[in-house]
Chain A
Amino acid sequence: MHVEVVQKVMKLNDEIAEGVRARLRAANVRAVNLISAPGSGKTSLIEAALGALRGHVRVGVLEGDPDTTLDAERIAKHGVPVVQIQTAGGCHLEANLVSRALDRLPLDAIDLLIIENVGNLVCPVEFDIGETSRVAIVSTAEGHDKPAKYPKLFRTTDTVVLNKIDLLPYVDFDEAQFNSYVQNLNPRSRIIRTSCRTGEGLEEWVSVLRESHRAETAVRG
């Protein structure tokens, strides 16, 4: 007996993600989903932004990691609401994890929710978690070919942060090649060059977060 189904496998996750999005919209909160490889500097970039946003934008943070609460402890020192989602070895955040974590955040006291996804350039890209916008972060030490090797992330975001640019003199990173890979995958992409050590580009990074606080940008369905 053959039964035609034709149903999206991600339907359930996508429905929960829509629920998250609706809840955030009702509370007037924008959510930015940060996706990168482990060690690209996501937590440092968040920490750098928290100081600059203080007094202007009320920020909450969701930290996704397979294990430990180390990142949440780093963020908590800045005095902002933070929830650590431990995925118990899981390689990405899914909408239901984010949905449950929202229960533990004071949504009426937040304008901007920064979600640090699990460090991974593959799996997190496949799961809509109800974000308003998505940011890809690559550090120079990872190599310029990352967009070519992990194209989907760069097709589904308009903002790419190139972090650790202070290391450029020491690594074989062909920035022109990197830019051309990114532009080829998404001509609308804006690339922001940052270094948390020297502070270069951090103003622009903060302004991106402020913009995401104001305007809703399209996220892949």
Chain B
Amino acid sequence: MHEVGIVKRILEMAIEVSLQHEGRPIDRVCVSVGTLRQVVPESMRFAFEAVSRGTRAEGAVFDLCEVQAEVICANCETRFHPDAAMWVCPACAAGGGRVVKGDELILTSVTLRCDNE
């Protein structure tokens, strides 16, 4: 449900970029979303289509790149991809770990339409 608010903010940020470049129409918006973020990619895509209607981003491609979670074991510093409810280091079986990847929620790039394209 909070995806709508987050996507609205992404749209605002993309429009700011467009306004910095003569207000060119937006063709593509690229975002990186970590798998540890509690957002649903499909809801974000749907929300983008809805909130971009009637704006300079209407019809733009919403390019969502998922970033796989990666954790460093606090005990032996092995890096691993947690995929279950319990995080267990595959090397030393210690529980938990420090997140190095997977918490991203970033607008990475915006593609604007040029007259000669």
Contacts and interface: CB of A to CB of B under 8 A. Distances in A.
Contacts of A123: 1-2, 38
B5 A94 contact: yes
B24 to A, nearest CB: 7
Interface string B49-91: 0000000000000000000000000100000000001111000
Given A9-B9, A126-B39, A1 B112 contact: yes
Contacts of B106: 6-9
Interface string B29-52: 001000011110000000000000
B13 interface: yes
B85 A149 contact: yes
A5 B36 contact: no
B26 to A, nearest CB: 10
A148 interface: yes
A187 interface: yes
Given A6-B109, A7-B107, 19 more contacts: A1-B111, A3-B17, A4-B109, A5-B13, A5-B110, A6-B108, A8-B105, A8-B107, A9-B106, A122-B38, A123-B2, A123-B38, A126-B37, A126-B38, A148-B85, A148-B86, A180-B86, A183-B95, A184-B87
Contacts of A7: 13, 106-107
Contacts of B21: 1, 3
Given A91-B2, A123-B2, A187-B96, A5 B17 contact: yes
Interface residues of B, number: 34
A126 B2 contact: yes
Contacts of A149: 85
B53 to A, nearest CB: 20
26 contacts: A1-B24, A1-B114, A1-B117, A2-B110, A3-B111, A3-B112, A6-B107, A6-B109, A7-B107, A9-B6, A9-B13, A9-B107, A10-B9, A91-B2, A92-B2, A122-B2, A126-B6, A127-B2, A147-B85, A150-B38, A151-B36, A151-B85, A155-B99, A181-B86, A184-B95, A185-B96
A186 interface: yes
Contacts of A190: none
B13 to A, nearest CB: 6
A104 interface: no
A91 B117 CA distance: 42
A126 B110 CA distance: 24
B13 A152 contact: no
A22 interface: no
Contacts of B110: 2-3, 5
A4 B108 contact: yes
A186 B86 CA distance: 11
Interface in A110-146: 122-123, 125-127, 145
Contact of B95 (A6, A148, A187): A187
A12 interface: yes
6 closest residue pairs by CB, A with B = A148-B85, A123-B2, A184-B95, A91-B1, A1-B112, A9-B105
A110 B1 CA distance: 33
A1 B28 CA distance: 10
